[in-house]
Chain A
Amino acid sequence: MADLTESTSADSRTPILELDGIGVWLSGREILHDVKFEVRPGELVGLIGSNGAGKTTIFRVILGLLTPSSGRVLIVGGPRPRRNRSVGYVPQKIALDPDMPLRSRDLVALGLDGHKLGVSLPSRRRREMVDEMLHAVDAMPFANARVGSLSGGEQQRVMIAHALISRPKLLLLDEPLANLDLRSEQEVVELLAEIAKEHGVAVLISAHDLNPVLPVVDRVVYVAHGHVASGTTDEVVTTDVLSQLYGHNVDVIRLHGRILVVAGPSPRADPALMEQLGRLSNPVDDTVAV
């Protein structure tokens, strides 16, 4: 695989990304409360939470698209510069129709110079860098296909190449596994682990399901109702921590290496009803984040 990063001279203990007491208020509602976590070089961290928990807001804050009401974001130990090429971003979906004339290699090249003014002139070096990156993410077979016509997993690879070609120190992926079939899911997860481990890139991925990323994440940041808990999976994904995070009784069940998080009985509920629910022993409807 091609070398994806410049030799990182930075101390490996310096966090690449550091969120410190981030609070966000939007139209009178508190969206994030005292969000605090960090990602170090070579680490793959999962930002886990159900839809609406605040994952996307956290991403927008990190990308500088949203100014937090309180707290600060540090990237490589400093404030985020206005034009920061040290962060690569892969959105959940891209807005291109199947017959739009933009090839995979065009999109990857835009990762290199898409922010620059003027028209790019053909350059051998640029072409080689694009080829190298397409190779690295195993996207060569569809390098000349229109991006809009590719499958979800293929688009994901092309977008990862787009984000990585500027050699960022931090890679952010918003729900990279959503809309992927099981095989593509596995391949993307392995690719991300490789990028983090072999090339020292700090990778932060958001997911609503913990299990597909469980084998590869070093740590998790669990988000619920705008509050977060971070640490290793064993530290965070426990009945005590998650119950406190949700403000509701939550059961964490470990089963064949998978983790199920299900709503526990509510103390406020009608005891007779709870008894009935307990007898049904079917937690599907009460699942809060699996």
Chain B
Amino acid sequence: MGGFWSHVVEPGFFQSQTVQVALLVGGVVAAISAVVGVLTVLRGQSFAGHALGDISATGGSGAFLLSINPLFGFLGMGLAAAGCMEAIGVRRVRGRDVATGIVLGAALGVAALFLYFDTTFHSTSGAAITVLFGSLFVVSSSTVPAIIACASGALVVVLVLYRPLLLSSVGDDVAAARGVPVRVIGGLFILTMAVTVALSAITIGAILSTALLIGPAATALRMTRRPVTATATAVAIGVAATWVGCLLAYDSFYWPPVNHGWPVSFCIVALVFVFYLAVDLVRSFRLRRTNLPADKSNGAVVRAHPLDTLSTGIEAASASGSE
């Protein structure tokens, strides 16, 4: 077994300081991304989350231009964009999407300009790759305290606002009727989302940050019926994918093309996606099995099964038809 494990975990993995920083930063960021991600999906703001990731690329490329820490570029631009979206956006969901789209378009234009300047005047040809696709292995250890502080701040906001956020996911009017200041809560949440996405952008790149925000959350939502267990599951999936992704990227140094490691961001995102597919497959397989006898009985039996059946149209139709 020792020989086997030495191939899975290549020698020097845990001793490397780069790997230690990567595991710490990756774990912290994956955890907060999953927590915020579950609420993002529940509140139907996945598009805004994705847009904030893309937009933070503008900040990241700007930071390269000014030679400052890219984290602050991601953060500054993300927060500014979140503020803009909140200011332009009316409270209706459709209005929110339009506001998101307008800010996204404008910011990506500026990102194109910054990246052009980066490559022309700074001869940092790697800027585009680093900003857009990131690498957990180039995060400097000096950035670690700032990352942990931001993640802790985001976690505190989410924990404090947890119940009002959950309630307003059912409907802003329902929450408002309960005395929840929905506008303030919604504004704070989108700012928290911007911070989370900025962290995720430095970890796996601005473009890929959606994968860490939405991926583990979407997978967890398919596995559980309770918001708290969904959050815990999403954290577990996110952290596991990030850590195993780091390991694979480290090992890939010995894969073809030999002596060129695969991008760590690719490894993480691929694992997140594979896990989602696996859960989806298992779920639809179990659904098919449990629905065979249910077709002959009444709808109550279908509903009594822990897996809800309405997400698949055919089962839903047969269930309501037999009621």
Contact = CB atoms under 8 A, between A and B. Distances in A.
Contact of A113 (B163, B169, B225): B163
Contacts, number: 123
B296 interface: no
B163 A115 contact: yes
Contacts of A10: none
Interface in A162-219: 162, 166, 172
A111 B38 CA distance: 21
A98 B310 contact: yes
A188 to B, nearest CB: 16
A99 B312 CA distance: 10
A149 B310 contact: yes
Max count, chain A CB within 10 A of own CB: residue among B170, B224, B227, B306: B170
A114 B311 contact: no
A119 B300 CA distance: 33
Nearest to B38: A101
A65 interface: yes
A282 to B, nearest CB: 34
B252 interface: no
Contacts of A2: none
Contacts of A84: 179
A76 interface: no
Contact of A114 (B93, B163, B173, B222): B163
Given A95-B171, A101-B224, A151 B178 contact: no
B226 A111 contact: no
Interface in B90-114: 93
Nearest to B309: A149
B170 A107 contact: yes
B254 interface: no
B159 interface: yes
A118 B221 contact: no
B303 interface: yes
B164 interface: yes
A151 B320 contact: yes
A114 to B, nearest CB: 3
A102 B169 contact: yes
Given A65-B176, A117-B161, A145-B303, A99 B221 contact: yes
A117 B160 contact: yes
Interface stretch (A19-27, A85-93, A262-270): A85-93
A115 B162 contact: no
B244 interface: no
